[in-house]
Homo-oligomer: A and B are copies of this chain.
């Protein structure tokens, strides 16, 4: 008969009493430590069962200095970051990997600089072993707030600020191979025989946009500036840029858009002007954001990145930092800091190029 109705939750002590052993032995069994006579271990496990014992986390953390929790910090300068499918996938990857490591996800939603102090307090107050942050906008000082807390942190996406200040250890991050992927996209267009390849770039305050632009330039060393137009990663932005491009260089025969949404916008304008894709103009996107890319008219050739994988790798990287430096990583700067990870991308050929 379970004594779960006794009012107060059972402690280690109670389990020990019932099993007729010491608290230490119970602790060993509960934590899977070797070196307990099987007979005793069984008795303990049974007592745990009967009492419905669940270890008290606070008490444990107090002594181990481990919290079994990781903060995911979401800054939200843009309104829709949460409903961004891209972001969702990344959080999904993080959540899954965290579960594997028996760690909890604490969501820290930052709505503005007014929240910074709260974040710092939380991070500094011994709640989490580490943090995961996204380096979208970096002009608001949040990154330095995070770094100031000394909590081991891994960033998602290459930060826009210098990742290794003097003295400081480098900031680990994981990102897609934006530059390499962009190169592959453009090379594909070149291989197709295209000679006037335009580029619709993303917002210059995002490193992914910058890196993709750089990849484009790597292949097309001295491109005509008229083949360049800037967008904002939205469909309308892409449409607008495409219109501009068509005006500047009506003879263009290909366009590489820095993301799928802008490519969709470009496709729309191309269609409106009666230009055929890929016959007149070949189009390549970036992201392989499903179902957008696959259902485009025509289906979009693009660069796929493994977003969920990025999330998982962020966690693995963090766990590596934690297990290497130990829970007191914050006190003594780690000697070896694990590097960042750049995840490979892949060209997905569909009909648009």
- Residue ranges of A at the interface with B (Cβ–Cβ < 8 Å): 7-9, 52, 54-59, 61-62, 67, 69, 72, 80, 82-85, 88, 91-92, 95-96, 99, 104-109, 111, 115, 118, 121-122, 124-127, 328, 330-332
Contacts and interface: CB of A to CB of B under 8 A. Distances in A.
A59 B63 CA distance: 9
B82 A104 contact: no
Given A9-B331, A55-B125, 5 more contacts: A57-B125, A58-B62, A72-B107, A95-B109, A105-B108
B105 A107 contact: yes
State the copy count for this chain.
2
Contacts of A331: 7-9
A92 B82 contact: yes
A82 B127 CA distance: 25
Contacts of A115: 99
Given A56-B126, A62-B58, A88-B82, A106 B105 contact: yes
A52 B108 CA distance: 22
Contact of A7 (B52, B109, B332): B332
A106 B104 contact: yes
Nearest to A66: B58
Contacts of A57: 58, 125-127
Nearest to A86: B83
Contact of A99 (B56, B104, B118): B118
A57 B84 CA distance: 33
B99 A88 contact: no
10 nearest A-B pairs in the assembled complex, by CB-CB distance: A58-B61, A54-B124, A82-B88, A58-B62, A95-B109, A83-B88, A7-B331, A107-B107, A58-B58, A105-B107
A57 B342 CA distance: 36
A263 to B, nearest CB: 20
Contacts of A80: 85, 88
A76 B307 CA distance: 19
A76 to B, nearest CB: 9
A88 to B, nearest CB: 4
Given A56-B62, A58-B67, A121-B54, A106 B106 contact: yes
Contacts of A84: 83
Nearest to A55: B125
Nearest to A4: B150
